[in-house]
Chain A
């Protein structure tokens, strides 16, 4: 179909203090309807306090082929990973 509505990516903030998380995508003719549709498609079970939508075409992504160059070097630097600490439960989500 040539006149299909553009694709939008939907991000929802589950609770205050958390960041928006990608939850999926949908089609809509414009941003306002994308928000409305996101409300109906992705927050039916009271999932969120805030919705972001962004045109899928506007997202610039890293190329899968660049994976090694981008991510491999940091993997080797184990001292950058804060995995040696015990985090108390009371801290919650970090």
Chain B
């Protein structure tokens, strides 16, 4: 499945938002406090709204008659282009917040880059999403700092979350052939250009949170295990099963 760099770009952005939105929405009704429950559900809804914009664009570009719903609910694991970070299970609330922070710290700079896209539809969507992403990053970095620099218990949980999740960052900052194609076509930024802002944010927030950044390359999840190339982790199948079962069981159902 390669319908050109614009299609791939829209799928990558849309799938990241869709899958993280799906993960985050599982907290609805279960978050530790009421205020967090609502805030987290808001983030999930923002992301699913963004996914709809990107996947609608992907469907238009592909020109095969697939809309955002068809792309979200009727593709199989190998056809999803989200990075591995966003599909990682929620774990405890600390891990959920750390995953959110690492994603937001990457999401905002890439959206800012995409606002300069030579493709007007991309720039337009990125402009809308960047405002939400800025708030998401504000919130998640604040909570990571509070919990990292909190009690011994909360600090241990945040450090464990960072240690677990950090290896998945590798594929987000290392460009593959399609990332290069996207940049060469003027559709989006080079990943190398946004990596500095991402790394600076992660370093600053970890330091303020009194957390130690793991040495990334030692346990890097690069190579064949790249979500953006369609190779996902085991848990992803279960996520898709839950997300897609209704459209699979009752094709075309709507309400």
Contacts and interface: CB of A to CB of B under 8 A. Distances in A.
B33 A27 contact: yes
B38 A40 contact: yes
B42 A28 contact: no
A56 to B, nearest CB: 14
B235 interface: no
User: Per DSSP, are chain B's interface residues mostly helix, strand or loop, or mixed?
Assistant: helix
Contact of A40 (B39, B142, B146): B39
A44 B39 CA distance: 10
B34 A27 contact: yes
Interface residues of A, number: 12
Nearest to B139: A36
A26 B35 contact: yes
Interface residues of B, number: 10
Nearest to B35: A37
Nearest to A8: B35
Contact of B142 (A5, A26, A36, A44): A36
A41 interface: yes
Interface string A11-54: 00000000000000011110011001100110010000000000
Contacts of A5: 33
Nearest to B42: A40
Nearest to A5: B33
Given A36-B139, A36-B142, A44 B35 contact: no
Contacts of A40: 35, 38-39, 42
Contact of A44 (B42, B138, B139): B42
Nearest to B41: A40
B38 A41 contact: yes
B184 to A, nearest CB: 40
Contacts of B35: 26-28, 37, 40-41
A87 B142 CA distance: 49
Nearest to A44: B42
Given A27-B34, A27-B35, A40-B38, 14 more contacts: A5-B33, A26-B34, A26-B35, A27-B33, A28-B35, A29-B146, A32-B142, A36-B39, A36-B139, A37-B39, A40-B35, A41-B38, A44-B38, A44-B42
Interface of A: 5, 26-29, 32-33, 36-37, 40-41, 44
24 contacts: A5-B33, A26-B34, A26-B35, A27-B33, A27-B34, A27-B35, A28-B35, A29-B146, A32-B142, A33-B142, A33-B146, A36-B39, A36-B138, A36-B139, A36-B142, A37-B38, A37-B39, A40-B35, A40-B38, A40-B39, A40-B42, A41-B35, A44-B38, A44-B42
Interface of B: 33-35, 38-39, 42, 138-139, 142, 146
